Amino acid sequence: MGGKKNTIDRKMDDCKEFTKEKHAKYFLRCLNALPSSLVSLDSIRLSISFFAISGLDVLGRLDLLDKHKEEYINWIYLFQILPNCNDECLERCGFRGSLAATFSLENQDTSCVGNVRNKGSISSHPLDTSHITMTYAAINTLLILGDDLGRIQRKGILAGVKALQLENGSFAATLEGSESDVRFVYCACCICYILQDWSAINIEKATHYIVNSISYDGAIGQDRNQEGHAGLTFCGIAALSLMGTLETSLSLNQKAKLVRWLVSRQQSGFQGRPNKLPVDTCYSFWVPATLKILGAHQFIDRKSNRKFVLDTQCNIIGGLSKWIDHSSDPLHSYLGLAGLSVCEETDLVEIIHPALNVTKRAFEHWQKLVND
């Protein structure tokens, strides 16, 4: 009904209208509830909360959470695994992803659930361990919400991160039963950067692992010999930048080759690999953010990217989708908007810190915490 007319209008318009308030409502809905069809996101709910809350921050509408800010913060801390009184099993600490091996979260210490004293709970089982991406997402989200990270169990979290680094320098996501690759190196680096403590990472090995994952075409793959991929390239370059080894670990030639590879990803929006089509909204963040870290984002055709990102908006329920005329999801909604803000200074969205993937406002809150 009226769909046909809309399509025609859209084609005639230079850019689709930016429906900011619809996107804010979309993120609020994600925070409230997800339909049962998205049950496969069950073990990464903290990531989804990060996309939605950081998404509101990028939209400049974090005020919509003001009324329940404390509840959001308390809910995140529920997922923290605490060291027990003898500091045994420190390596399990961090934030949980799956609750499949967890005793009921709220029954562990009834005296402090749901209020400011809630800090998390002790691991219920050897499989009740942290997931490094969830630890990263939790800490970032807490910063965005203005928390002082006072309930973060630094000792446990750092032990948890340390236990996940492998001999070859890469990181696994969990203590048992996980693949290991550059995605988790990136998460480890964000955690250590925010906590300002690098004792949990062997920087030399992690750097070596990343540089070793550079493909013959100049981009970074999931592992040695794997195809170069824009998302993994972001993880690798952002990790090097956070560790402070970006300048020393890549030659000028390697950097030039990588910049060429990255700018070649732009078609209108961006693709993730050479010859891979159609373009996908999430690469509007991964590619420009990597270029920005390398000081080369001025090479992007901003107008083309903006047009593509705006074309992926869903004007009915809000949010952005992976491809034009598909359904929106939290990840692509967030990364599409974050990508707009990396590419240019615009009045549409707030500015993003490219390596940490939080707004400049949240980053400044972190700086203030560190300086105090």
Partner 1 sequence: MADKELKESPTDSSDECSDQEPSYIFYRDRPEWNDIVPVELHEGPFPVVAIAYSDRFKDIFNYFRAIVLKNEISERAFQLTSDALELNPANYTVWQYRRTVLKGLEKNIQKELSFVRTIIEDHPKNYQVWHHRRVLVEWSGDPSSELRLTEIVLAQDAKNYHAWQHRQWVLETFKLFDHELEFVERLLEDDIRNNSAWNQRYFVVKQTSGFTEDIINRELTFTVNSIKIVCNNESAWNYLRGILSHCPTGLNGHPIVEELCQFLDYNKSEAPFYFSFLVDRMEEMMQSDPLKREVLLPKADQVLQLLATKMDPIRREYWLFLSRYLNSQFAN
Chain positions 2 to 61 lying near partner 1, rule: CB under 8 A, are 25, 28-36, 38-45, 48-49, 52
User: How would you class 94 by CB atoms within 10 Å of its CB: exposed for 0-12, middle for 13-18, buried for 19 or more?
Assistant: buried
- The reply to whether 301 sits near partner 1 by the rule CB under 8 A is yes
DSSP letter at 62 equals G
* Strand 121-122 with 80-82, pairing: parallel
Nearer to partner 1 (CB atom), residue 195 or residue 343: 343
Instruction: In angstroms, give the least distance from the CB of 76 to partner 1.
Output: 8
- The reply to whether 112 sits near partner 1 by the rule CB under 8 A is no
Helix 132-144 vs helix 182-195: crossing angle, to nearest 10: 40
- How many residues bind partner 1, per CB under 8 A? 80
- The reply to whether 177 sits near partner 1 by the rule CB under 8 A is yes
Instruction: In angstroms, give the least distance from the CB of 117 to partner 1.
Output: 13
Interface of this chain with partner 1, residues 256 to 295, rule: CB under 8 A? 259-260, 263-264, 266-268, 273-276
Instruction: In angstroms, give the least distance from the CB of 338 to partner 1.
Output: 19
Of all helices (H) and strands (E), which one includes residue 172? Answer: strand 171-172
CA separation for the pair 284, 341 (Å, rounded): 10
Interface of this chain with partner 1, residues 321 to 350, rule: CB under 8 A? none
Query: From the CB of residue 85, how many other CB atoms can be counted at a distance below 10 Å?
Result: 7
- The reply to whether 197 sits near partner 1 by the rule CB under 8 A is no
Q: Contact with partner 1 (CB under 8 A): which of 20, 72, 146, 255?
A: 72
Give long-range contacts, CB 8 A cutoff, 24+ apart: 34-39: none
Nearer to partner 1 (CB atom), residue 203 or residue 259: 259
Amino acid at 64: L
Q: Contact with partner 1 (CB under 8 A): which of 168, 254, 298, 346?
A: 298
- The reply to whether 300 sits near partner 1 by the rule CB under 8 A is yes
User: Burial letters for 147-161: b for 16+ Cβ neighbours within 10 Å, e otherwise?
Assistant: beeebbbeebbbbbb
